Amino acid sequence: MSKQTIYYTLTDEAPALATSSLLPIFGTFAKEADIELELTDISLASRIISAFSDTLPADKQAADGLKFLGELTASPEANIVKLPNISASLPQLYAAIKELNEQGYGLPEYPENPTTEAEKDAQARYAKILGSAVNPVLRQGNSDRRAPAAVKGFARKNPHSMGKWKKTSTSHADYMRGGDFFSSEQSITMEKDQTVRIEFVGQDGSVEVKKTLPLIAGEVLDSMNMSSKSLRAFFEQTLQDAKDNDIMWSLHVKATMMKVSHPIVFGHAVTVFYKDVFEKYGELFKEIGVNPNNGLGSVYDKIKTLPEAQQEEIKQAIQDVYTSRPELAMVDSDKGITNLHVPSDVIVDASMPAMIRNSGKMWGRDGKAHDAKAVMPESTYARIYQEVINFCKTNGAFDPVTMGTVPNVGLMAQKAEEYGSHDKTFELPANGTMRVVDEQGNVLMQHDVEQGDIWRACQTKDAPIRDWVKLGVTRARQSNTPAVFWLEEERAHDAQLRIKVEKYLQEHDLNGLDIHIMPYNEAIRFSMERIVRGQDTISVTGNVLRDYLTDLFPIMELGTSAKMLSIVPMLNGGGMYETGAGGSAPKHVQQLMEENHLRWDSLGEFLAVAVSFEELGIKHNNEKAKVLANCLDKATGKLLDTNKSPSRKTGEIDNRGSHFYLAMYWAQELAAQSDNAELAAKFAPLAKALTENEATIVAELAEVQGKAANLTGYYHMNLDEVAKIMRPSATFNQALASL
Amino acid sequence: MSKQTIYYTLTDEAPALATSSLLPIFGTFAKEADIELELTDISLASRIISAFSDTLPADKQAADGLKFLGELTASPEANIVKLPNISASLPQLYAAIKELNEQGYGLPEYPENPTTEAEKDAQARYAKILGSAVNPVLRQGNSDRRAPAAVKGFARKNPHSMGKWKKTSTSHADYMRGGDFFSSEQSITMEKDQTVRIEFVGQDGSVEVKKTLPLIAGEVLDSMNMSSKSLRAFFEQTLQDAKDNDIMWSLHVKATMMKVSHPIVFGHAVTVFYKDVFEKYGELFKEIGVNPNNGLGSVYDKIKTLPEAQQEEIKQAIQDVYTSRPELAMVDSDKGITNLHVPSDVIVDASMPAMIRNSGKMWGRDGKAHDAKAVMPESTYARIYQEVINFCKTNGAFDPVTMGTVPNVGLMAQKAEEYGSHDKTFELPANGTMRVVDEQGNVLMQHDVEQGDIWRACQTKDAPIRDWVKLGVTRARQSNTPAVFWLEEERAHDAQLRIKVEKYLQEHDLNGLDIHIMPYNEAIRFSMERIVRGQDTISVTGNVLRDYLTDLFPIMELGTSAKMLSIVPMLNGGGMYETGAGGSAPKHVQQLMEENHLRWDSLGEFLAVAVSFEELGIKHNNEKAKVLANCLDKATGKLLDTNKSPSRKTGEIDNRGSHFYLAMYWAQELAAQSDNAELAAKFAPLAKALTENEATIVAELAEVQGKAANLTGYYHMNLDEVAKIMRPSATFNQALASL
């Protein structure tokens, strides 16, 4: 039997720290089944370094881990465990570059307005790193996400807190009723392979080709436009409405994943909210390089170059705004960080479920939770949150003890429906027409646009759609659960998809299955009506809803999306096992640095690695891998039942302690099982050693807490130093090493 | 051609007053087509008098008009124009008896707790008069209600005011989540004709037969129980919630139509709200005959017999309650009349649409509109209002200019689904079991009950259901409109009905029709989603929803349900044409008495009589009747367009003025038409006379306004005196008489 490999990703922040403790455990256990765990660095820092490696000295270069894994996805042997990573916003990129340069990398700054060739080159390299740059490369399959039975069972027995909902809650979602992407969407399906051009036609008739796109037969191409005038009017109107009705105003966008379109949307919110400031200091801000798309933080950052008196004047002008505007939701009320400070702080898919779980409230300036107007300009998806809010007002909060589950089958293979993230989104410099033209010069789609509008196109290939339909049907069959295809009748794109879905459904035996096609509002309502009755419903959705719903429902059901099992069955036969969600990881790192306590829960990694082992076991007939998988699942269940997950509180069990318990339970399960005597014999001494030394190890792990820990970096840590911090128990390390 | 007859009903309050002016006009025009309009008295007063006529002197006796019309419905010749009448609550009955006795009738008082045979006899006679006593007798067919095209068009051109909805509105519907009729409902379909017994089994095993019911094959029999403990706990909990959240508390029940069950529900609300008062004075109240089911008004009424000091003490105790309870919605804030004063003041089907139209607000003590908790204990129907409220919060108020229409086809023939009104509802005197037993002694349905619970049964015969399905399909076909059968999957009754609906639908050609079956929440949401897009949807519903929806949608669409065309195609071939709605009629009478201005709009009568003429025209090949109908519709349209409907303001055109204009336009149309030369010639002089004397007649009609008018009675008016008041224009009367 040849050696099999699991490619385990090194990412960022808390998950990367946890890896330092956890990977040695996985590696130790795996080698007994002839499985190797290979660490592949795809952290933001490593992606930056490798992008510039041709310009760096040899000792500073780094391999392109992401490229390597991307190529691997084409192989049926691909078995990747993918941890959450940073989808970098501009401020995060700035910070990472700064840190690397402090470490002596000498990287160029990110040029916002490149003029020289060198600057253009640098910007192009950085552009590939920004936002959701990792997932589209690796996700060469559709998505299968669900709450594992053990996790769901645990949540039912140990329900997380859920804020009660009042019938008198004034919280609501607010979204545009026109002028947004939803209302302007156009969509076509290609009849044959051909290359189309995206063109801007100026009012003088001049034609500028913005992009050429090679498309293949069956591919769905969408285009849509967000009117900046309508967007700004919408923001102003919601601010007035919030002020008039004395309700907090809270912006929820997706500036990370939708890295081109949503920072612009965010920037409009900043300049409308702080209208008085930007009207007065607009010219000055331009000169000193303020970019509102980076949030109000950009103002505070850039004015540091100004004389102190002027700085104070501007700060006062900002404070003055708060008297005329409604209260603004806070990210950190102690530090005065609002929702508009940094675009990456409030990410709709995580922030809206948090709000819903928190009785529909956001945090105010006074540090208390208040009802809020959740402003989500794009109406396509915002409406589902209003539906949830109405449901909670009517029926009260969801109850984790009794509620059913909503697993997701999501369309995402081959960069399907990557809206607004990438190279087909344009902020328009002038009035004119955006159009898509085919090789014969026929105009396939077009929009009249105005200066400042955001126009974007989006591709979805046919093969992924067909595979997605198959995956939806397969999951419905395997789990004996109704499945709903979320397709909005009134959306141009979904109308195209519906034709394909109805066609491809016919390729499967649907006998005895309960398959529906519903618009979003109806689908979420249907799912909620079932969930409160304890019934399960598979959501079969496009890419964005996949992203949103696999936070929304898990956060209600399990208290976190990090506990979901997330599988990407690759189109070419391999598999990727994604873990957790990075939403709150920055806070975790901060706590570690200040108090040497890491509250990150590696449950997602436990679940993913078990499925990863299982897959190798099936594919290579590796019986030991199957036993490892089975015992790992049992150990995870025991860890949940005995409450050995990390506590949020310094001094109590943290990420490292939970890893120890996982190892102990896993070794115990392996020693106790009778499926494979060799493994039982092998792990018996380890089980004994860990069991006997439990008190010592726990004490060693607890001892280090409470003091500051020096990480040597935030984005680019020294892994040896991290290992010292993350593996402080000599007893535990020695027991592992002795296997 | 034999003489044809339209039976025109004399009812109560404003519609009865209007009849005094309008019927002479209809009669004058009709006789030219050999049609006679016969006035049949079914007023509350006449029903009381006729019920006791065997005990009255000859000059005080009255024929039983209702019985006569009831028998007439079996004839294919039945052609009845039915105006709104009083569904008497107990306080209304008391008042009517008092008035009749003041007029010398010497009727027995209504005995609440009859002991003697005479009292029992009196109570039995009065019981038949209470509540919805008229409609079940006359409605020997299902219901077809819609907004006539002219009326809908007028509303679109002249939209009524609609209160804006705030997204931050705190208004909501609150209803029981268990222990109510919905959650306890059981239902069976009879396989054969047989008589069943409704029995109460005491805890000692004793069996009391409460009722025997002869049932026929295919008949659906339901039973359900409202737990008084749950109901009272629910009221208390909603009061606490309203108090805690500083929102007004507003009760909405159906104490008139559901004349047995809902006054009891109302009474519980009164004794829970004024708990402190009823705990302190409960025994005293019993002695002096306070009946909380008649509202707080009963307290104020009955304590009049007590010493003044004690009265003041009790009044003070009532005032004290308001400090510990949430604010209570007012019916008349000037006079301090709350929602709990009289059970007939706030009728859910009219009050909820009014609240929704008024931005979701009810009237407070300060005379201003406030957000409110609308308390509707029974969850079966209350949920649709919460759905509407959520929809308005999300999408804003409905817009009469653009909204579609929701006509209704309602199941009601042969007393179908007469819930809670009648002889199968019981307030239980002790703990035990209520059960339905067949002839063989098999228990068909049973409920464990507690003292004070409200148990009720309900019958729905098969033939009306079959006819209802047919009427639904027919209307869908005739109007080329999607139709939705509102059937709630989770209701036992609806599950039985659904089987029949699916079966009977197969009897029709459904080709090209868009027929749905949906639970209530989904059906109303579907209808609202369509209505805001300008699309129409027929609601095909049971009896209660018929009643509720034919107020709800018309009030949104037209500003009133009085403008609906309401047809009852009788099972035996006749037709009844119902007009208007009596919801605000008492206020109209008050205004007439104080200022001699009657704001009642007879539009419903104009529409009904036109259809009534048309039906005679078709049935008897009476061409003149068809011309009369056609010209009447045109006159009605012209009256709407020229804004000759009654104004609410004294001094402006009132009911009488609008009748004059109808007559003038009608005569003009008849004179101008060329379908029937005889009629044209006949009406030309009248058209001329009315046209020439328009200013004189209008002046004569205006002149009388502003002074008090003596009606000589409220329930039992002297018709000659009324005619003097309602026909004050000598010029107009003379012109009519000269035809």
Chain A closest-CA separation from residue B183 CA (Å): 14
The reply to whether B152 falls in a domain is: no
Q: Are residues A389 and A311 in the same domain?
A: yes
Among B166, B172, B521, the residue with its CB nearest the CB of A167 is B172
Residue B562 scores a pLDDT above 60: yes
Find out whether A551 is annotated in a ligand binding site: yes
Would you state the pLDDT for residue A421? Answer: 56
DSSP reduced 3-state for B439: coil
Residue with tokens 């979003």: A520
Would you state the pLDDT for residue A340? Answer: 96
Is residue B535 within 8 angstroms of chain A, CB to CB?
no
**Can you tell me the mean pLDDT for B388-407?**
98
Find out whether A132 is annotated in a ligand binding site: yes
The half-sphere exposure of B737 on its side-chain side, counting CA atoms within 13 A, is 7
Judged on CB neighbours under 10 Å (0-12, 13-18, 19+), A682 is: middle
List pLDDT tens digits, range B441-472.
999 999 999 999 999 999 999 999 999 999 99
Q: Are residues B577 and B714 in the same domain?
A: yes
Q: Which residues pair with A248 in a beta bridge?
A: A372
All residues of chain B having their beta carbon less than 8 Å from the beta carbon of residue A167 are 170, 172, 174, 241, 245, 373
Q: How far is CA B265 from the centre of its chain?
A: 19
The reply to whether A551 falls in a domain is: no
| Domain end point (choices B382, B399, B421) | B382
Q: At B105, is the pLDDT very low, low, confident or very high (cuts 50, 70, 90)?
A: very high
The reply to whether B432 falls in a domain is: no
All residues of chain B having their beta carbon less than 8 Å from the beta carbon of residue A247 are 168
The reply to whether B327 falls in a domain is: yes
Quote the strand ranges of A402-548, DSSP E.
408-410, 425-427, 432-437, 443-449, 454-460, 483-486, 515-518, 538-541
Residue B1 scores a pLDDT above 60: no
Residue B490: DSSP 8-state = T
Q: Are residues B702 and B574 in the same domain?
A: yes
Find out whether B467 is annotated in a ligand binding site: no
Is residue A530 within 8 angstroms of chain B, CB to CB?
no
Find out whether B137 is annotated in a ligand binding site: yes
**B394, B399, B524: which to substitute to probe chain A, counting the most A Cβ within 10 Å?**
B394
Is residue B311 within 8 angstroms of chain A, CB to CB?
no
Is residue B491 within 8 angstroms of chain A, CB to CB?
no
- Report how many domains make up chain B: 2
Contact B168/A167, CB-based, under 8 Å?
Answer: no
In chain B, the percentage of residues whose pLDDT exceeds 90 is: 90
Among B167, B174, B241, the residue with its CB nearest the CB of A174 is B167
Spatial separation of the C-alpha atoms in residues B705 and B100, rounded to whole Å = 28
Would you state the pLDDT for residue B133? Answer: 87
Q: Are residues A286 and A306 in the same domain?
A: yes
Contact B170/A174, CB-based, under 8 Å?
Answer: no
All residues of chain A having their beta carbon less than 8 Å from the beta carbon of residue B241 are 167
Q: Are residues B131 and B266 in the same domain?
A: no
Is residue A128 within 8 angstroms of chain B, CB to CB?
no
Q: Are residues B271 and B133 in the same domain?
A: no
The reply to whether A389 falls in a domain is: yes
Q: Are residues A204 and A253 in the same domain?
A: no
Contact A393/B394, CB-based, under 8 Å?
Answer: no
The reply to whether B192 falls in a domain is: no
Contact A394/B373, CB-based, under 8 Å?
Answer: no
Find out whether A633 is annotated in a ligand binding site: no
Q: B34 CB contacts (<8 Å, ≥6 apart)?
A: B1, B3, B4, B622, B624
Q: Are residues A336 and A437 in the same domain?
A: no
Q: At B582, is the pLDDT very low, low, confident or very high (cuts 50, 70, 90)?
A: low
Is residue B584 within 8 angstroms of chain A, CB to CB?
no
The reply to whether A253 falls in a domain is: yes
What is the number of CB-based contacts under 8 A between chain A and chain B? 42
Q: Are residues A272 and A326 in the same domain?
A: yes
DSSP reduced 3-state for B221: strand
Is residue A170 within 8 angstroms of chain B, CB to CB?
yes
Would you state the pLDDT for residue A480? Answer: 93
Contact B169/A167, CB-based, under 8 Å?
Answer: no
Q: Are residues A191 and A265 in the same domain?
A: no
All residues of chain B having their beta carbon less than 8 Å from the beta carbon of residue A245 are 166-168
Spatial separation of the C-alpha atoms in residues A142 and A148, rounded to whole Å = 18
Spatial separation of the C-alpha atoms in residues B491 and A160, rounded to whole Å = 33
Spatial separation of the C-alpha atoms in residues B718 and B43, rounded to whole Å = 13
Would you state the pLDDT for residue A133? Answer: 87
- Please give the mean pLDDT across all residues of chain B: 95
The angle formed by the CA atoms of residues B68, B74 and B79, to the nearest 5 degrees, is 70
Chain B closest-CA separation from residue A553 CA (Å): 22
Chain B residues 234-273 with CB within 8 Å of chain A: 241, 245, 247
Contact B172/A174, CB-based, under 8 Å?
Answer: no
DSSP reduced 3-state for B308: helix
Among B168, B174, B521, the residue with its CB nearest the CB of A167 is B174
List pLDDT tens digits, range B630-640.
999 999 999 99
The reply to whether A441 falls in a domain is: yes
Find out whether A134 is annotated in a ligand binding site: yes
Ranges in chain A, pLDDT < 50: 1
Spatial separation of the C-alpha atoms in residues A590 and A332, rounded to whole Å = 14
Find out whether A63 is annotated in a ligand binding site: no
Chain A closest-CA separation from residue B535 CA (Å): 15
Range of the domain at A436: 185-226+427-457
DSSP per-residue letters across B358-415: TTTEEE-TTSSEEEEEEE---HHHHHHHHHHHHHHHHH-S--TTT-----EEE--GGG
> Which has the minimum average pLDDT: A553-567, A691-705, B44-58, B167-181?
A553-567
**A164, A165, A168: which to substitute to probe chain B, counting the most B Cβ within 10 Å?**
A168
Q: At B563, is the pLDDT very low, low, confident or very high (cuts 50, 70, 90)?
A: confident
**Can you tell me the mean pLDDT for B359-372?**
96
Residue B381 scores a pLDDT above 80: yes
In chain B, the percentage of residues whose pLDDT exceeds 70 is: 99
**Can you tell me the mean pLDDT for B668-688?**
97
All residues of chain A having their beta carbon less than 8 Å from the beta carbon of residue B174 are 167
Considering only the C-alpha atoms of chain A, give the largest distance between any 2 of them, rounded to a whole number of Å: 82
Measured in residues, chain B has a length of: 739
**A167, A241, A391, A526: which to substitute to probe chain B, counting the most B Cβ within 10 Å?**
A167
| Domain end point (choices A372, A395, A418) | A395
Would you state the pLDDT for residue A581? Answer: 63
Is residue A390 within 8 angstroms of chain B, CB to CB?
yes
Is residue A535 within 8 angstroms of chain B, CB to CB?
no
Among A168, A172, A245, the residue with its CB nearest the CB of B245 is A168
DSSP reduced 3-state for A408: strand
Q: Are residues A357 and A266 in the same domain?
A: yes
Spatial separation of the C-alpha atoms in residues A117 and A110, rounded to whole Å = 13
Measured in residues, chain A has a length of: 739
Q: Are residues B375 and B275 in the same domain?
A: yes
Find out whether A87 is annotated in a ligand binding site: yes
Spatial separation of the C-alpha atoms in residues A274 and A285, rounded to whole Å = 13
Residue B584 scores a pLDDT above 70: no
Would you state the pLDDT for residue A548? Answer: 95
Is residue A379 within 8 angstroms of chain B, CB to CB?
no
| Domain end point (choices B349, B367, B382) | B382
Is residue A506 within 8 angstroms of chain B, CB to CB?
no
Q: At B260, is the pLDDT very low, low, confident or very high (cuts 50, 70, 90)?
A: confident
